[in-house]
Homo-oligomer: A and B are copies of this chain.
Amino acid sequence: MKTIEQLLESKNIRVTAMRLLIYKFLAKKKVAVTLSDIENAFAKADRTTLYRTIKTFEEKVIVHQIDDGTGITKYALCEEGCNCDIKNDLHLHFHCNNCNETTCLTDHKIPQIKVPDGFVSENVNLVVKGICDKCSG
């Protein structure tokens, strides 16, 4: 089990207070977060810093981006050893129409999708919408 510091160093980005805080925030959350979620959590920090931090995390494959169709991009921590950099996430995402939260279903892999002749599939984005476990209870 790596520390966050070790993780950041292994990705060749500097360890800063802000990055540690944001990483911990993401780790604590069990659902994907928007930039404004982060802004609300760190009201004292500048938006741009938070924005660029998350972009750096994305670039270094510490988080992955999720487009759940709400029009607002969300982010969630990557699994260790994921290959978010090659393909998009192989796991699927669930967006709750009730609480509006988006969850990584990390152990639900996306099935093989057939495309017509001439088309080459490189990656697949799959978002299931419905009612999440917390809301359906």
A positions within 8 Å CB-CB of B: 67, 69, 71, 73, 88, 92, 94, 97, 105, 108, 111, 113-133, 136-137
Contacts and interface: CB of A to CB of B under 8 A. Distances in A.
7 contacts: A92-B113, A105-B116, A113-B128, A115-B130, A119-B131, A120-B130, A125-B129
The number of times this chain is found in the oligomer is 2
B124 A136 contact: no
Contacts of A133: 116-119
A110 to B, nearest CB: 8
Contacts of A119: 94, 105, 128, 130-133, 136
A7 B111 CA distance: 37
A125 B122 CA distance: 17
Nearest to A116: B105
A123 B69 CA distance: 12
Contacts of A73: 71
Given A108-B116, A125-B129, 15 more contacts: A67-B67, A69-B125, A71-B73, A108-B113, A115-B128, A115-B130, A118-B133, A119-B133, A119-B136, A120-B136, A122-B130, A124-B128, A125-B125, A125-B126, A126-B126
